[in-house]
Amino acid sequence: MLENQIGKRYAEALSANILDTGALEKALENLRAFAGAIKNEKQLARFFAHPSITTAKKKNLVRELCSRLAVEDEVSNMIILLNERGRILYLEKIVEHFEKVVDRRLNRTRVHVISSHPLTSENIARLKTALNKISGKTILIHTEVDESLIGGIILRIGDQVADDTIRNRLGILKRTIEEEEVA
C-alpha cells in the first residue's frame, strides 16, 4: 500500500516537471533503465538498502549510474532525491505508475494479448484499429503465446479482461449444462 502511494506521488511529480510530451517517453526509458540496473544487479539493491553506507556514497553511485545510462536531468534529479529520502528502492513502483501517467498524457492504452498461436502483423493491425475506434486512444499491443489455450485470445486492458478462448467457452458450456441438469 505504501509502495503504491509513494510510486504514484513521485510519478505524478516527475510528470509535472516534464512539460514536453516528447520528453516523457525518454524519461520513462531512463527510469526503466535505472530500475532495471538495480533489479538485475542484486548488489546494487543491497548497497542502497544498507543502512551503514552514507547517503553521500549512494549519491555518488547514483550520479555514476545516471551518467553511464545517459539519464536525462529531470530523471537524474528525482533519483538523487529518492536516494536522499531513502526511497530509491521504490523505483520499480514509481516506474509502474509513471508508465500509466505517460500513457494518460499521451492518450494511449496498453493492451496485453495472449493467444494460442502467434498473431500475424495483419491481425495485430486490425485489432489495433478496432480497439482504437472503441477507446479513441492510441493502442500499444504486447503479444504473448500460450499454447494451452487451444484457440482464441485473451485481451487485458488495464484491469479489464476479455477472454474469448475455446477453454473459456467450454467452461461456460459446461456450467450451462450443469445448471440445466440441476433444474
Domain boundaries, the chain: 2-104, 108-182
How deeply is 63 buried, as exposed, middle or buried, from its count of CB atoms within 10 A (0-12, 13-18, 19+)? middle
Tell me: pLDDT of 183 over 70. no
pLDDT at 132: 92
Can you give the pTM of this predicted structure? 0.79
Q: Are strands 160-165 and 152-157 parallel, antiparallel or unpaired?
A: antiparallel
**Predicted pLDDT of residue 180:** 83
Q: Which residues partner with 112 through β-bridges?
A: 142, 156
User: What cell numbers appear for 66 in the block?
Assistant: 545516471
The CATH number that domain 2-104 falls under is: 1.10.520.20
